[in-house]
Structure 1
Amino acid sequence: MIRGALLIAFAALLWATTSIVAKFLFAATDLQPLTLGLLRLVVALPFFWLLMKRELDQAAASTNGPRRLWPALAPRGLLVLAALGLFQAFYQGSYLIAVDMIGAGIATLISLCLPPVLVALLSAPLLGEKPRPVTLIALVAAIAGTAMLVASDIETAGALRLAGILMALLAAIVYTGFNMTSRYNSTGTPVFTTAFVCFLVAALLLLPVVWLSGGFAGLASLGLKDWLMVAYIGVVPTCVGYVCFFTGMKTTPATLSSIIVTLEPLFVALLAWLILGEILGVTGIAGAIILTLAVIVASASSRNASTGKE
């Protein structure tokens, strides 16, 4: 279990580097956030196709069935995966736009810390899971922590900052929808098949948006170092990070996994401070701590509620 927990923590660290590298790209080139989101998916797709193909081959070998290049999905299963891809496309765009506008630290804390709390709250009306009092308290704490993060840099408030905060909130809402759809999904689709179809749908949705918005024009400003950073985002945090996470999940309890994953926003805040010079201040740090603790409590409460534990 220790090895699994370390793998999940390492995945969280790799994911945390995404926004840091993205911020460097946005500052040094004309690359647009939506374009980077598309490139990230395009780079990762061949890798996830190979993993999906291995899953399909293993399934065929176990059932003596024919080998496939594409999974045999029922209409309902395909619809669920398409919905996940839609959420993924919106999340990639809104999150990276928020990083570009307000920085990696605050954007990630808002985008990734609010969804687990919102999922725990929405599980009652949508999934029939009765909310526990501790979940409601965690929700209030999460809102308070988010407000403190927003207020931590209030002296620089303006239209651009407000837009960035709204984009981070949009990313949080979209990611909540992604999580809720994932929990609703009961098709039993293998992990990497789900990842490939989801990423493929997201890329197909982002492609016309980037094209019509003129996002490809910014590619001319990328040098070799910049393309290497794009490749890094597509390979290391996306491909290697997900493999580490799913490998660690095999031997790590779900509750512990959900808590370890909350390290990602803290890793981002730390890296943003060390590398980008982003400072949250006393109010922001307190808000980040409150928000993270709320996520841990809400995640543990939600997991216990779903398993019937007290």
Structure 2
Amino acid sequence: MIRGALLIALAALLWATTGIVAKFLFNDTDLQPLALALLRLVVALPFFFLLMVAELRRNRRAGGGSVKLLNWRILLPLAALGLFQSVYQGSYLLAVDLTGAGIATLISLCLPPVMVALLAAPLLGERPGLVTVLALIAAIGGTAMLVVSDMDTAGRLRLAGILMALLAALVYTGFTLTSRYNSTGTPVFTTAFICFLTAALILLPVVAASGGFRGLGTLGLQGWLMVGYIGVVPTCLGYVLFFTAMKTTPATLSSIIVTLEPLFVALLAWIFHDEVLGVTGISGAIILTIAVIVASNSGVRGKRAGTSPDTAPDTSPGTP
């Protein structure tokens, strides 16, 4: 279990570097956020394809049979996940560009678990518990403190970036709920490949129409290496570490460890980009993190009680 916990913590650290490296790209090149979102998926797709092939072969050897990918009942929910993924990737990276890696990640990743815990109960015909409601109120308060801190640091309200981060949080909530309650029983990496492929196909015409490809000429060798890093290390390696660890790590523990990611981002943003949250921002981040832990544990207890049939893997467990 200790090994699994360490692997999840390492995955959270790798995921945290996405926004940091992206911010370097936005500062030093003319690469657009939507173009980076597309490039990240394109780089990751061959690796996920190989993982999917290996996964399907293991399932066949174990007598699990083949996944009928042409079945619309399987493809439709995965296509919906791909749509959520494309919007999330774009809105998150836009938030990083318009504000900072720290505040964008804290808002876009900390709010969804609380919102999922609140919305999951009505979807199952139950009322949310008092603890869940209090966690949501605390999360809203923590987010407000982050916004106030960002205003103090930047000297103005970076409303567009905050709204993009909130959009990312809302989309990630929809992604998680769709993944959880529209389970297809598809293996993990098969789900990830189809989801990412759909997202890339959605982003491609959007990037082309918005002129996002014009910034590719400003990347240079260092810029392309950064793009490759984002596509391979936090995306592919982070997934492999996480799902490997989940085989031996209790869900409660993993849900708590994953909350390290936005805190890692805030620390790295302070080190590499001089993004300072201030006392108000740090307090808001702590309140938001506690709210996430409480909401996540509430959700895990619900699943154990049989109130949340989470049989489909979340193909983006905390990673932006």
Aligned to 2:44: 44
Aligned to 1:102: 99
2:86/2:202 contact within 8 Å kept: yes
Give per-residue Cα distances to partners, 1:143-201, cap 9 Å, x unaligned.
00000000113244657x10000000000000000000111122210000000000000
1:286 Cα offset (Å) = 0.2
Counterpart AA for 1:207? L
Structure 1 pair 193/273, CA: closer, same or farther in 2 (3 Å)? same
Counterpart AA for 2:202? L
Counterpart AA for 1:61? R
Tell me how far apart the structure 2 counterparts of residues 73 and 145 of structure 1 sit (CA, whole Å).
44
Tell me how far apart the structure 1 counterparts of residues 142 and 204 of structure 2 sit (CA, whole Å).
36
Aligned to 1:72: 69
Aligned to 2:4: 4
1:172 and 2:143 correspond: no
1:186 and 2:167 correspond: no
Tell me how far apart the structure 1 counterparts of residues 64 and 138 of structure 2 sit (CA, whole Å).
53
Give per-residue Cα distances to partners, 1:27-71, cap 9 Å, x unaligned.
000000000000000000000000100111122233396xx7x85
1:23 Cα offset (Å) = 0.2
SS of match in other structure, 2:62: helix
Aligned to 2:257: 260
Of 181, 199, 221, 1:202 maps to 199
Aligned to 1:15: 15
Counterpart AA for 1:251? T
1:129/1:306 contact within 8 Å kept: no
1:89/1:202 contact within 8 Å kept: yes
1:77 Cα offset (Å) = 1.5
Tell me how far apart the structure 1 counterparts of residues 91 and 201 of structure 2 sit (CA, whole Å).
17
Structure 1 pair 41/71, CA: closer, same or farther in 2 (3 Å)? farther
1:71/1:193 contact within 8 Å kept: no
Give per-residue Cα distances to partners, 1:66-87, cap 9 Å, x unaligned.
xx7x853531221100000000
Q: Number of aligned pairs? A: 305
2:69/2:75 contact within 8 Å kept: no
Structure 1 pair 264/191, CA: closer, same or farther in 2 (3 Å)? same
Give the alignment of 1:228-267 within 5 angstroms: 228-267=225-264
Aligned to 1:225: 222
1:16/1:268 contact within 8 Å kept: yes
Of 131, 141, 155, 1:144 maps to 141
1:87 and 2:84 correspond: yes
SS of match in other structure, 2:248: coil
Counterpart AA for 2:122? P
Aligned to 1:135: 132
SS of match in other structure, 1:37: helix
1:124 Cα offset (Å) = 1.5
Tell me how far apart the structure 1 counterparts of residues 47 and 227 of structure 2 sit (CA, whole Å).
15
Given the two structures, how large is their TM-score scaled by the length of structure 1? 0.95
2:122/2:128 contact within 8 Å kept: no
Counterpart AA for 2:298? S
Counterpart AA for 1:43? V
1:52/1:193 contact within 8 Å kept: yes
Structure 1 pair 270/71, CA: closer, same or farther in 2 (3 Å)? farther
Tell me how far apart the structure 2 counterparts of residues 192 and 212 of structure 1 sit (CA, whole Å).
30
SS of match in other structure, 1:80: helix
1:125 Cα offset (Å) = 1.5
1:114/1:295 contact within 8 Å kept: yes
1:142 Cα offset (Å) = 0.3
SS of match in other structure, 1:20: helix
Counterpart AA for 1:42? V
Of 122, 125, 133, 1:125 maps to 122
Gaps of 5+ in 1: none
Give per-residue Cα distances to partners, 1:105-134, cap 9 Å, x unaligned.
000000000000000000122233542211
Aligned to 2:311: none
Gaps of 5+ in 2: 307-320
Tell me how far apart the structure 2 counterparts of residues 271 and 102 of structure 1 sit (CA, whole Å).
15
Counterpart AA for 2:280? T
Tell me how far apart the structure 1 counterparts of residues 64 and 292 of structure 2 sit (CA, whole Å).
44
Tell me how far apart the structure 1 counterparts of residues 4 and 126 of structure 2 sit (CA, whole Å).
28
